[in-house]
Amino acid sequence: MSKINQKSKKLIPSGVWCIASVIVLFGYLGTVMGVPNMLNTIMKTAHDLLLNTVFYLMSICVITGALGRVFVEFGVVALLERTLRPLMRPIFNLPGVTSLGAVMTFLSDNPAIISLANDKRFASYFKKYQFISLTNFGTAFGMGLLVIVFMASQGYYVAPLIGLVGACCGCVCSTRLMQRFVLKAYPQYAVEDAVSKEDIEEEEEEDKKTEKTVFIRLLNAMLDGGRSGVEVGIAIIPGVLIISTFVMIFTFGPAVDGTYNGAAYQGVELLPWLANKIDFVFEWLFGFHDPHLVAFPITALGAVGAALSLIPGFISHGWIDGNAIAVFTAIGMCWSGFLSTHTAMLDSIGYRDLTPKAILAHFCGGLVAAISAHWMFWLYTLIAA
């Protein structure tokens, strides 16, 4: 049988499979949306993502990169390492300094962790397998402050906090699972340092060559960190534009009147349609009592900001309750656009080949976050009653 399979693979070149896949994909989209509308939607969605998402993320990377470099320069990172080591190592199997990444991604967005990871002195605290799992760790807290504040603005206060605890549970699952995947594929990474000692010594020697005042050190740290943020912002462009565009197209539907006009963020609603076929699973796992609620976690895969925009409509239709808010907060933080950012994040730190493992680990982490939030909210209502 193996010989027959090998012969069939030789008879059908990989290029044929590629062309067939492209024809099926765009043929399906073109049939539903119309070819001109499909092309216009793809271009306009990518253009809007570039202007309103990528540049926004780049600005976050610049600011957090500068702030992170200042923290490294003036010893905040070393202080965090000593203070939080007893907490971080047993829970996440990461150095205490990693907590800085959680804070910065919580206050901003996923790519903030890359600004820190690209700093050699920050990376020097990690073994390679731990360093790679940073993308999973940081992504679990992405846009956390925004999500919680938005939920509170809708009149929910306890549920978002329960969701935050659920997101922490999902982060533990995602981070440790990713470390397991990495060590299984590359056992040597368990002992290899993320950054060589020679690189650290060179950087420290350069800093010692000239005595610098506090002002100069502060200025250099901010500018160098901001410059690294720009580089990271450019690195995430391909992943965001390519992956997010197609996630949006398969998630969203036509215009309000039910027609396609080539506007940005229109699509064929394939993902919600598939999810509705197994809505009973989501009811058991997440406590969803309406199949429309499935749209939130699916949309959060591409952009949690777009997912949040669904909530006012859910509330107006009476589909939502405190349990859904807790689950949305947990899964919104864990799945805050990770399909688009994971690829770019791992690519920027040089481990692109591990992207499928990172996505699988984080997908599981998001499920754990949502399930944990659902049952913790159930326990809360039981106690409160």
Mean pLDDT across the chain: 83
- Residue span of the structural domain in which 226 resides: 41-384
Identify whether residues 6 and 75 lie together within a single domain. Answer: no
- Flag whether pLDDT at 385 surpasses 90: no
| 3-class state of residue 193 by DSSP | strand
- Flag whether pLDDT at 239 surpasses 60: yes
Contacts 24+ apart (CB under 8 A), 187-194: 189/127, 189/128, 189/129, 189/132, 190/127, 190/129, 191/127, 192/127, 192/128, 193/124, 193/126, 193/127, 193/128, 194/123, 194/124, 194/126, 194/127, 194/128, 194/130, 194/131
Which of 180-194, 317-331, 334-348 shows the lowest mean pLDDT across its residues? 334-348
Q: What is the pLDDT of residue 44?
A: 93
Distance CA 286, CA 294 (A): 10
Greater confidence, 115 or 47?
47
Residue 209, classified by CB atoms within 10 Å of its CB into exposed (0-12), middle (13-18) or buried (19+), is: exposed
Identify whether residues 9 and 71 lie together within a single domain. Answer: no
Identify whether residues 309 and 265 lie together within a single domain. Answer: yes
CA-CA distances (angstroms) from residue 135 to 103, 258, 294? 14, 39, 25
For the chain, the domain total comes to 2
Identify whether residues 15 and 120 lie together within a single domain. Answer: no
Q: What is the pLDDT of residue 1?
A: 47
pTM as predicted: 0.71
Backbone angles phi, psi at 127, to 5 degrees: -80, 165
Identify whether residues 6 and 96 lie together within a single domain. Answer: no
Distance CA 156, CA 162 (A): 11
- Flag whether pLDDT at 62 surpasses 60: yes
Distance CA 46, CA 51 (A): 9
- Flag whether pLDDT at 198 surpasses 80: no
Q: What is the pLDDT of residue 271?
A: 75
Identify whether residues 2 and 91 lie together within a single domain. Answer: no
| Contact yes or no for 251/272 (Cβ under 8 A) | yes
| Contact yes or no for 162/345 (Cβ under 8 A) | no
Identify whether residues 67 and 5 lie together within a single domain. Answer: no
Please give the average per-residue pLDDT across 69-95, as a whole number: 81
Please give the average per-residue pLDDT across 262-286, as a whole number: 82
Identify whether residues 26 and 82 lie together within a single domain. Answer: no
Identify whether residues 165 and 277 lie together within a single domain. Answer: yes
Give whichever of 58-67, 74-83, 140-149 has the largest mean pLDDT: 140-149
Q: Which residue has the tokens 């509308």?
A: 37
Q: What is the pLDDT of residue 5?
A: 53
In terms of phi and psi (left: phi > 0; alpha: psi -120 to 50; beta: otherwise), the region of 303 is: beta
| 3-class state of residue 227 by DSSP | helix
Please give the average per-residue pLDDT across 129-139, as a whole number: 90
Identify whether residues 94 and 12 lie together within a single domain. Answer: no
123 residue type, one letter: A
Q: What is the pLDDT of residue 4?
A: 52
List, in sequence order, every residue forming a beta bridge with 127; answer none if it has no partner.
193
| 3-class state of residue 127 by DSSP | strand
Identify whether residues 147 and 185 lie together within a single domain. Answer: yes
CA 89 to chain centre: 22
Identify whether residues 174 and 282 lie together within a single domain. Answer: yes
